[in-house]
Amino acid sequence: MPRRAWRRHNIRRNKAAASNPSTSRLKEKLGSQTYRTQGRGPQRRSFEAWPDDTDSSFNCGSDGESDGEPDGEYGERIPVALQAVPTARTRERQQLADISSDDLDSESDLSDFDVDSGYGSLEEDSDEFYDGLLERFRTEGPTLANHSENTKNMMHEQEQKWRKFCSHRKLDPVEALSQCDVPLFKVYWVWRVKNSRIKKESAVMAYWKILSMVYAQKTASWMSDEVLYDVRNWIHVYLTPTYGLDTSKKEKAGIFVEDLAVLLNHHWIRDEEVFAHERLRVQLAANLILAGATATRPGALIGQLLYEHIEFQLFRGLTREERPHFVLKPKEFAFREDDMLIYDPLIPIMALAFADDAFVNKFKGPEDIYGLVVGANEDRIRLHWKEEWLKRTVFRDVESSANGVRVALDKALQYSKERGHLIRLGRSIGLSKALEWYDLRRGSGKKLNEALTPEERNKIMGHRQGDSTVYVMYYMSNFNDADCQSICFGSAPQHDLIHLAGRLLRHGDAPTVLTDHQKFEVSQNPTLVRCRQKRARALQQIKSRGYPTRKDAEGTELAARYDHYNKKADRLNKKLKSKRLQQAIKDFHNSIHVDEVNRELNGIKPSMVIAPPTIEYELPERAQVARLFSQAADVTSREALYPLRMSLVRTLAQLSWQDIFVPNISEGKTRRLSVLTTAAWKFLGTQDTLQTTRNASTAFIYRHRSFKGNS
């Protein structure tokens, strides 16, 4: 609108407002107040003195928003000039009051600032309102951190330990904690170390940090730096040497793409482990791929990924590969089809979606999705989920039923259970280290650190601090993966060899289970023997009271005592077996190469060819999956990969169906199929670049919410 027409519009609007009775009363009420502006203009003493061009600078509608167009309906509208701010208002508003339409474009929109700053209303809150807020905030005191559930559980555990100590010392736990007595804290840690299984100094430091958080919660204040500094130094100087605490650092290894290839190959083709339900196998592969491709915190992925966090999008066929172009908030990744099918995240996720029947549209199979055509007036097709599946987790656990084991509908997969699956998989390929999900995050984080800026790396890995402190402390490997010899001496670099030296130690003949002799050693553990004896005495007391079995004594104190010792014995037995197996693996890796060198010195050379084993699969679908992955090694074009991809999605969906009941091995037998895997390791090599022949390409979007915690 031209400036002259705009001013004429303001004059007409002000005249209409001036004839309004409510406006006249407001003039009388505000006429004696003094207003002031800063800048070029002189001070104004009444609302009539405000020029029309100033009014046009604050063209707000009745809803407090302006779209830059003049408002044609006046009605009860009060000219914005009447909303002038008294002298006591802030300097920012006073500066704005001096701006005229000559200084602004006619389409400028200041309504957002006007509303956000709180100056868009004539009504003012009473002094009683702010006095009440002031009293409330004084009563509430300091605002404490809003901890996650895991942190709250850890704080509760340490608080119970403190209460137990105070009960032993006949002290009031809250009062003793509030006094913040450093000598008492030192006595407490001596008591903790002597009456617990704490063996590492780092554990004491972590528990001390949590106890300080309990102090902050109970007292609404924070421990002074002097107290924290004193206790930390005392732990290093006195507690650790006196009680022989372990100060060794945990091995920070990384799983790289080569290790991931071996893991996935063994997982799909060579693994003879029987899962409670084959969906757990599909989910483990998907978690490995997603965690490896994004360096995501495991706790934010496993059991936390909902259907509403992911989305399939279909794009028009491309002539060449392009980087994913999805950069949305809070955190978002784009996954595309991979020519190496074993790395392709779309295959297992799409299979899980088909198994759950989660798509809104009724697809008969993956071919229906790839047969969709993107219209000329759109850039993509988005595939939506059913409303009832949006809040459900993609990775779910299993549950028992009358017919056997089935996939639970609303029971998320627990991190501890998936961690156990990863440890078992790592042991099955002969790794010397018990794998952790953070090893995969550490390896992927290193690749991100090499390719991206620190800011981009922190955003992807979820590090909230602006520097590299968290990455250096938790995610830098103990091994210096750099050819320092080449850097310092200028010799020819051999980065691949240095990288190979830093990979996890692996040997295919490493033990995966305990021998009978080792199991007998575990059973003779004195603590385990005493626990089992107490369990036997509790069972004998149940029978002496006339109960034939433990089930008949349900609800009695004797049954509770028996259950206590039974659970304690089972936990201890599992712990001792795990510890003994880890020791056996360590002993094997310490001695195997000595034996191999001795055999070669005696003229016995190792075989350079490993005969492919004959593997028996519990289900025919598993054999089909292994065959399909093996066939992919011989494919030389993307068009030839298409039928293999479709078959894999269908077969994995069959393995993941929720309504498939898997009978227990002791109760029934499932069909077995023997398959000779002759191409088990073929697809570990790098394939040639495949030519694009498909008309459409599917992208899998993984939205990852930000969770608390930096590491």
Q: Per residue in 250-302, pLDDT tens? A: 788 888 888 999 999 999 998 888 898 999 999 999 999 999 988 888 888 89
Enter the tokens of residue 310: 């992911």
Residue 321 has pLDDT above 60, yes or no: no
* Proportion of the chain above pLDDT 70, given as a percent: 72
Residue 471 φ/ψ region, left for φ over 0, alpha for ψ in the -120 to 50 degree band, beta for the rest: alpha
Q: Is residue 239 part of a domain?
A: yes
Task: Compute how many other C-beta atoms are within 10 angstroms of the C-beta atom of residue 677.
Answer: 18
More reliable by pLDDT, 477 or 263: 263
Q: Name the pLDDT band for 66 (thresholds 50, 70, 90).
A: very low
Residues 158 and 116 in one domain: no
Mean pLDDT of the chain: 77
| DSSP designation for 408 | E
Residue 528 has pLDDT above 80, yes or no: yes
H-type helices in 295-345, by residue range? Answer: 298-301
Domain that holds residue 215: 149-243
Total number of domains in the chain: 3
More reliable by pLDDT, 424 or 93: 424
Residue 52 has pLDDT above 70, yes or no: no
Task: Compute how many other C-beta atoms are within 10 angstroms of the C-beta atom of residue 483.
Answer: 18
Q: Is residue 537 part of a domain?
A: yes
SS3 381: strand
Residues 16 and 112 in one domain: yes
Residues forming beta bridges with residue 412, ordered by sequence position: 396
Q: How high is the pLDDT of residue 379?
A: 85
pTM for the full predicted model:
0.70
CA 612 to centroid of chain Cα atoms: 38
Q: Name the pLDDT band for 394 (thresholds 50, 70, 90).
A: very high
Phi/psi of residue 628, nearest 5 degrees: -65, -45
Cβ partners under 8 Å of residue 267, min gap 6:
281, 284, 285, 288, 425
Residues 97 and 165 in one domain: no
Residues 106 and 13 in one domain: yes
Residues 25 and 64 in one domain: yes
Residues 159 and 212 in one domain: yes
Residues 26 and 100 in one domain: yes
What would the mean pLDDT of 67-72 be, rounded to a whole number?
A: 39
Q: Is residue 568 part of a domain?
A: yes
Q: Is residue 161 part of a domain?
A: yes
Q: How high is the pLDDT of residue 676?
A: 32
Q: How high is the pLDDT of residue 4?
A: 54
Give the integer Cα–Cα distance in Å for 92 and 113.
Answer: 11
Q: Which of 124, 30, 122, 126 is nearest to 77 (CA)?
A: 122
Residues 154 and 114 in one domain: no
Give the integer Cα–Cα distance in Å for 450 and 552.
Answer: 64
Q: Is residue 706 part of a domain?
A: no
Q: How high is the pLDDT of residue 482?
A: 86
More reliable by pLDDT, 404 or 286: 286
In this structure, of 167-176, 206-215, 236-245, 599-608, the range with the lowest mean pLDDT score is 599-608
Residues 84 and 164 in one domain: no
Q: How high is the pLDDT of residue 651?
A: 94
| DSSP designation for 472 | I
Residues 167 and 89 in one domain: no
Enter the tokens of residue 463: 């590090």
Cβ partners under 8 Å of residue 231, min gap 6:
182, 185, 186, 189, 208
Q: Is residue 356 part of a domain?
A: no
Residue 345 has pLDDT above 80, yes or no: yes
Q: Name the pLDDT band for 146 (thresholds 50, 70, 90).
A: confident
In this structure, of 462-471, 489-498, 685-694, the range with the lowest mean pLDDT score is 685-694
Q: Is residue 211 part of a domain?
A: yes
Residue 108 has pLDDT above 80, yes or no: no
Q: Which of 241, 249, 250 is nearest to 193 (CA)?
A: 241
Last residue of one domain, picked from the residues 552, 582, 601: 601
Residues 174 and 83 in one domain: no
Q: How high is the pLDDT of residue 171?
A: 94
Q: Strands 396-401 and 404-412: what pairing?
A: antiparallel
What would the mean pLDDT of 197-205 be, rounded to a whole number?
A: 92
Residues 18 and 109 in one domain: yes
Q: Is residue 362 part of a domain?
A: no
Last residue of one domain, picked from the residues 209, 243, 277: 243
Last residue of one domain, picked from the residues 222, 243, 264: 243
Q: How high is the pLDDT of residue 608?
A: 61
Residue 53 has pLDDT above 50, yes or no: no
